[in-house]
Structures are given as C-alpha cells and as structure tokens.
Amino acid sequence: MSQTINYIQRLTNIPSPTGYTTEIMDYVAREVTSYGYQANRTNKGSIMVTVPGTNDQQHRILTAHLDTLGAIVRAVKPDGRLKMDLIGGFVYNAIEGENCTIHVSKNGHNISGTILLHQTSVHVYKDAGTAERNQDSMEIRLDEKVSTEAETRALGIEVGDFISFDPRVVVTASGFIKSRHLDDKVSAAILLNLLKTYREEKIQLPYTTHFYFSNNEEIGYGANSNIPEKVVEYLAVDMGAMGDDQQTDEYSASICVKDGSGPYHYELRQHLVSLAEKGNIPYKLDIYPYYGSDASAALRAGSDVRHALLGAGIESSHSYERTHIDSVQATERLVDAYLKSKML
C-alpha cells in the first residue's frame, strides 16, 4: 500500500478544481510515460492509457477522475474581499474556515486566503451563528494588505480566477487518511499503482483495457466521450458514500447497486461480488441516492456498455473527507481481480 498512499498524498496536494486541471493531468501524463505507457490526451484534457490485452476484440475501460470541488471568483467586493461561485455539488458550510488559494490568471501568481462568513466575529455580529451560509454571506479574506476593490484588482485578481481549497492531507498511525479531494484521487492513485505494477511485473491483462483519467466528473460529464468502439464493460472507480442508511464503511470496498442515475448493470455488479467473495476481499453493497459517476454519464451520452461502480468508502464526502488504508487496499485488490478476470 505504500506506493498507493504516496500517490494519494501527491495527487491531493496538486490543485485541480474542475476547469483548472492542466497541472495534475501533466503530472499523470509524466508518471505513466515513465512506466513506458503512452498518455493519449483528449480534446477535453483527459488522459487515456491503453494497455493491450490477450483479447483485442473486446475491450474494458476504467475511469477515475482527477478534477475536484473548488470555486471561482464571482466578484471583487468594495472592501477588497472576494465573492465566489462554487464548482461542484457541495454546500458553503463544508468550506467555512478553510484556507484556499486564488490562481491569478493575469500573472500566474497564487494568492492565499481564507473562506469565511462575512459576519464571523461573535463580538460584533449577533447572527454569527445563525446566518445562512450562501454566496451573498460568504467571502474570501485575502492574505494581502488590501481594503478596497482597486487594491485587490491591482494584485491581478479578476472574475473567473479559480480557487482551490487546501487539502490538509494527514495519514495517521492508525491507518486513517484525512484530506479534501479523496474523491476521487484515491481511485486515481489505485489506477496509477496498478499500471506501474503491471509494467514492472510484466503482467498481461486478458483484455485490452483503457485507463481513463477524466477531468470533468464533478460537473457531470467526465468520461462520456472518447470511449473506443470495442469497449464492452465500463468500470467507474470512484468513492463509496457513507451516512445514515448506508452500508459503506471505511474498511471495505463499496460496490454501488444504484445511484441518482438508476441501477447499475446487475450481472456486472454480481461479477464484482463474486470476485470479492472468492478473493476474501471485504466489500459492501450500497445505494448512493444523490450521486452520479463517469459511467452513468457515459450511459446518458448513449454508450452501449455494461457499467459498474466501486470505490473506497469515504466519510464526510464533499467536505473534509476520511478513509482508511483497509478500504483503499480492498478496493485496489477488487479492481485488480476484475482486470484479471474473464468477461461475462
């Protein structure tokens, strides 16, 4: 697991809110090229790595997405602070008090700041605890000597500049991994580690397989294009959602039976269950009620594939997230077992 954990730490520390993913895609391209693979770029900026298999008549595709939640500058306020517009599906409460970085497009500079409620101080504002957190009440306090709109604009900041949130990656002695953006950089780390392992150990997969690192999943249309015609099976490696009425935990692989798009392919799901049971891999079956994936986006776009979804269990998804090494390991083992198995 050490190499996968290293990848998780590296990936989570590279800012990549949807729409601002060039740096992380360049990193992945360099990494897979160093293994001896070819990194094929799509027009949207995603990366496809094709691994030839024994059978080239039927293909598989696996996806993990590298884009994350984030924000974009909405306006510069008269006092020099920033209003923001959210990128991805989350609430302002999840980022209150978070440090962030504004990526200034005019000059390439990065400027740090903190996301706060306008009326934060309980010594001044009576409604500090009860005020609704929304686009009008939340703002970014810049770590610069600015108190007017003109002074902030003099830094080069403009509407449309991307904002990334500090990941705060921590790996505890007890095996927990805490960070923002574990969705879906855990899965991307797993795919990178498997690609590296297959090349080093000269493992040939039974079917030609495409490893697709997408960069638009958080806004709903990640890997819904560029799917080769021979692809029969589509496995989205994403995250398992935890909460009330959920079976998913932080110590198993989570196999999704249904999300907001509808049920996943029953036979392919059962195939994953069978592989987990044969391999003594801890797993949970679950429904993610407010969720979509690269695979569901592909089906909406008209792809004729069998689709499935699995991932590590992520606690507090779309906030300051957490998982455990046990869940990462179970997920990696199940993906590996699937890639080496026969198709339905």
Residue whose pair of structure tokens reads 């269950």 in the numeric block: 273
- The span from the CA of 286 to the CA of 258, in Å, is 7
183 is in an annotated binding site: yes
- The span from the CA of 151 to the CA of 77, in Å, is 11
Contact assessment for residue 236 and residue 295, using Cβ atoms and an 8 Å cutoff: yes
User: Across-strand partners of 145?
Assistant: none
- The span from the CA of 158 to the CA of 107, in Å, is 11
Q: Within its chain, how far is the Cα of 285 from the centroid?
A: 21
Closest CA to 69 of 223, 227, 183: 183
Q: Which of 31, 98, 139, 217 is catalytic?
A: 217
Which residue type, as a one-letter code, is found at position 97?
G
Mutual orientation of helices 325-339 and 182-200 as an angle, nearest 10°? 50
238 is in an annotated binding site: yes
Is 144 designated active site? no
- The span from the CA of 123 to the CA of 287, in Å, is 44
Give the C-alpha distances (Å, rounded to integers) separating 279 from 274, 309, 337, 339, 344: 8, 18, 8, 13, 18
- The span from the CA of 45 to the CA of 237, in Å, is 19
Q: What does the block give as tokens for 47?
A: 């990366």
Helix residue ranges, H only, the chain: 2-12, 22-35, 149-154, 182-200, 266-278, 294-300, 325-339
Closest CA to 338 of 61, 32, 58: 61
- The span from the CA of 264 to the CA of 306, in Å, is 8
Catalytic residue positions?
Answer: 217
Residues at the binding site for Zn(2+) are: 65, 183, 218, 238, 318
Write out the binding residues.
Answer: 65, 183, 218, 238, 318
